[in-house]
Structure 1
Amino acid sequence: MPTGKQILLGRTLEELTDLVTSLGMPRFTGKQIAQWLYDKRVTSIDEMTNLSKANRALLSEQYTVGRTAPVMSQLSQDGTRKYLFQVATGGLIEAVFIPDKDRATLCISSQVGCKMDCLFCMTGKQGFKGNLSTGEIINQVLSVEESLSLTNIVYMGMGEPLDNAVNVMKSIEVMTASWGLAWSPKRITLSTVGVRRGLERFLSETTCHLAVSLHNPFHEGRLELMPAEGGLPLVDTLQMIREADFTGQRRVSFEYIVFDGVNDSEEHAVELARLLRGIPCRINLIPFHQIPNVPLRPLARDKMEHFKNLLEARGYTTTIRTSRGEDISAACGMLSTKEQMARNTSAN
């Protein structure tokens, strides 16, 4: 519940240092608070026992840690677990834990709803309700049951991460900094439709992996699926990627949901191969999960395999992603927070 106090979680070491000095505390107190937040993962200021009792009381007058537990979780038959979090605006967001052999991946959200309104995605159907703060992004990582065993983070949940670039980039700083969670950037992947200004920052300021939501290589076809293509054309995104440094371990992949009779022809495969020529990359083919009131159909598995073979024959490493958590609406494109949509309906 909102307390009127400001949140500590999500602040950088520099911000914490400025905060404590403004309160008359020693500068090193900022580093101590960062350690309590991100290394020791406390949920209250009272737990910061190497701060004096007076300083804890002073801090508590205006601030709170900002950790919030999930309000609900659902476990899939395949071990995937979906979490529901309430954020400060009253909105609801979902995060998904995906176990897979030696990988333990958390798919996190960056917005309540989404502006992109992609035809195949449930999140956009609830409209855009606001950006998550840096603390609300980091809270998902720290507050799921599996937090301490996570090996990978993917910014592929609700929202377009680079439409909330300020808070997402700051969350990546907290995730990767030595004073923060100290994650390797190589364990973090961000998915985007290609928001130019945010992508420029992401490519220049981080070495995290990039996944581009592509879904159709033709402008008109992509525009029908993804209205954002009108203002954020794929050709511009690809040019930015060609100019970026991917010489190290950093990887770029392209996400391609395959729809029956829409983007699955040999013509689509040939154009996709032509568009991506010269970009060392992986193409991830994703099964479509039927959502209400959308005239798109999943492609049969044998036809998916055929499309994969067409791309591999042209030299592209191509995989068909295994669906996870479909029985709890946690698979790709299905995050919608039915509770949020119910609230929206009752408010109208």
Structure 2
Amino acid sequence: MAIHSIFDYTSLRCEFEKSGISDHFIPLIWKHVVQNPSCDMDSIPSLPSAAYPLLRSKFRSMTSAVSSAVDSKDRVTTKLLIRLQNGTSVEAVIMRYDTRLGKYDGKPRPGGIRSTLCVSSQVGCKMGCRFCATGTMGFKNNLSSGEIVEQLVHANRFSKIRNVVFMGMGEPMNNYSSLVEAVQIMTGPPFQLSPKRITVSTVGIIHAINKFNDDLPNVNLAVSLHAPDQEVRCQIMRAARAFPLTKLMDALLSYQASSNQTVFVEYIMLDGVNDQEQHAHQLGKLLENLKSVVNLIPFNPIGTSSNYKTSKDQSVKKFQKILRGNYNIRTTIRQEMGQDISGACGQLVVNLSEQRSAGGASLLTDIEDLHIR
């Protein structure tokens, strides 16, 4: 891109180094932009004089803009359609959770509204999962680290964001360098998010998992498993052929041994495909040596072209009971949010020809409740 986001750290640092400007000014610039997202570069105070022409010529405070913001009827979920400078769009979803309405470890707790942001890392996706609408777009392009961070800046104008999950459009680990840089920015000044409140979801890119803990320590890892054996996984997830289940499990065990982190396992429930009792037992045995939390996800329809159906409630509950009772695996059922605005899991897709939203993203009950310290 000819013009970079001010949050593209590597580009900004390199330009400063070439001009002999200290990079300790970068957090000061970001703080001003976060407080004044539409500012011009000349309004940023206390910079060396050489910084201003450089910033004006090569950077913008925000390279993206919110095209639309749609609230769910209960106002718990807000879906943002964000237009990028190359003309494409992505969606980010804000999910609000009132801690006063729930319990943790069986105890009521004080609190208030806590917001989680689901961000996109790519326009489209090349993974081709058959149950996910984003895959119907194909892959368009990667987002820069700045474009990812700008989603957080936009979202903070609607609700103070406490948690971030990379569960929107795209496979984050196929855009690994931007992912790492974006998370590092989010966990530093001025955002100062805790790494423990950031979760990265992947279909299982093994070579990236192998270096994930070194690059992003204490950040949560979620794996879109969706099937307990390789054959079924390949049927519903085209990319699974490149990442055999046995090698993926070896990578997860190695990751856990080095990080001591709980692995979140995402499992979409497809009627008659992967939701039977034998599948639950297979999954329990597969995960028996891994410290994990399994999140069972109700399938959300993605249009008339889908051949899949949502699992019956009794099947989901029986699946959960087997994992909990027979294998002592902590298992939750995802609480869907924003379905009335197509803001639920697997529905995220943007009609690029018309630049209008046709989908959304989602998360779970409350991400912090799933964290095991």
> Does residue 275 of structure 2 align to residue 273 of structure 1?
no
Q: Whole-Å Cα distance in 1 between the matches of residues 213 and 251 of structure 2?
A: 9
Q: How far is 1:252 from its partner?
A: 1.0
Name the counterpart of 1:320. 333
Specify which of 76, 80, 84 is matched with residue 83 of structure 1.
Answer: 80
Please list, as runs of the form range in 1=range in 2, the aligned pairs for 1:97-246 lying within 5 A after superposition: 97-102=94-99, 103-146=114-157, 149-177=160-188, 179=189, 181-206=191-216, 207-245=218-256
Name the counterpart of 2:68. 72
Name the counterpart of 1:5. 3
Name the counterpart of 1:299. 311
Change (3 A) 1:316 1:146: farther
Name the counterpart of 1:45. 41
Q: Whole-Å Cα distance in 2 between the matches of residues 146 and 48 of structure 1?
A: 20
Moved over 6 A (4+): none
Q: Whole-Å Cα distance in 1 between the matches of residues 168 and 219 of structure 2?
A: 17
- Does the CA-based 8 Å contact 2:268-2:298 persist in structure 1? yes
- Does the CA-based 8 Å contact 1:9-1:67 persist in structure 2? no
The one-letter code sitting in structure 2 at the alignment partner of 1:19 is E
**TM-score with structure 1 setting the length:** 0.90
- Does the CA-based 8 Å contact 2:209-2:255 persist in structure 1? no
Secondary structure of the corresponding residue to residue 233 of structure 2? helix
- Does the CA-based 8 Å contact 1:74-1:81 persist in structure 2? yes
Q: 1:18-62 CA distances to partner (integer Å, 9 max, x unpaired)? A: 42242244x2xx222322214751433123111255642343133
- Does the CA-based 8 Å contact 1:190-1:211 persist in structure 2? yes
Name the counterpart of 2:109. none
Change (3 A) 1:118 1:35: same
- Does the CA-based 8 Å contact 2:83-2:90 persist in structure 1? yes
How many residues align? The count is: 335
Q: How far is 1:63 from its partner?
A: 2.7
Secondary structure of the corresponding residue to residue 70 of structure 1? strand
Q: 1:71-111 CA distances to partner (integer Å, 9 max, x unpaired)? A: 11111123201101112332110000000114310000000
Change (3 A) 1:158 1:19: same
Name the counterpart of 2:26. 33
Change (3 A) 1:167 1:38: farther
Q: 1:276-321 CA distances to partner (integer Å, 9 max, x unpaired)? A: 1111111000101112201100012122111111111121111101
Q: Whole-Å Cα distance in 1 between the matches of residues 33 and 87 of structure 2?
A: 28
Specify which of 301, 308, 318 is matched with residue 290 of structure 1.
Answer: 301
Q: Whole-Å Cα distance in 1 between the matches of residues 257 and 78 of structure 2?
A: 33
Specify which of 85, 90, 93 is matched with residue 93 of structure 1.
Answer: 90
The one-letter code sitting in structure 2 at the alignment partner of 1:100 is Y
Q: 1:109-147 CA distances to partner (integer Å, 9 max, x unpaired)? A: 000000001010000001110101111000001112556
Q: Whole-Å Cα distance in 2 between the matches of residues 87 and 6 of structure 1?
A: 12
Secondary structure of the corresponding residue to residue 181 of structure 1? coil
The farther-off stretch of 81-90 and 61-70 is 61-70
Change (3 A) 1:88 1:234: farther
Name the counterpart of 2:349. 336
Q: Whole-Å Cα distance in 2 between the matches of residues 57 and 246 of structure 1?
A: 49
Task: Report the RMSD for the aligned CA atoms in angstroms.
Answer: 2.2
- Does the CA-based 8 Å contact 1:81-1:98 persist in structure 2? yes
- Does the CA-based 8 Å contact 2:222-2:265 persist in structure 1? yes
- Does the CA-based 8 Å contact 2:294-2:329 persist in structure 1? yes
Structure 1 unaligned residues grouped into runs of 5+:
none
Change (3 A) 1:19 1:58: closer
- Does the CA-based 8 Å contact 2:65-2:84 persist in structure 1? no
Specify which of 253, 258, 273 is matched with residue 262 of structure 1.
Answer: 273
Q: Whole-Å Cα distance in 2 between the matches of residues 263 and 242 of structure 1?
A: 23
Secondary structure of the corresponding residue to residue 300 of structure 2? coil
Q: How far is 1:184 from its partner?
A: 1.2
Secondary structure of the corresponding residue to residue 168 of structure 1? helix
The farther-off stretch of 156-165 and 238-247 is 238-247
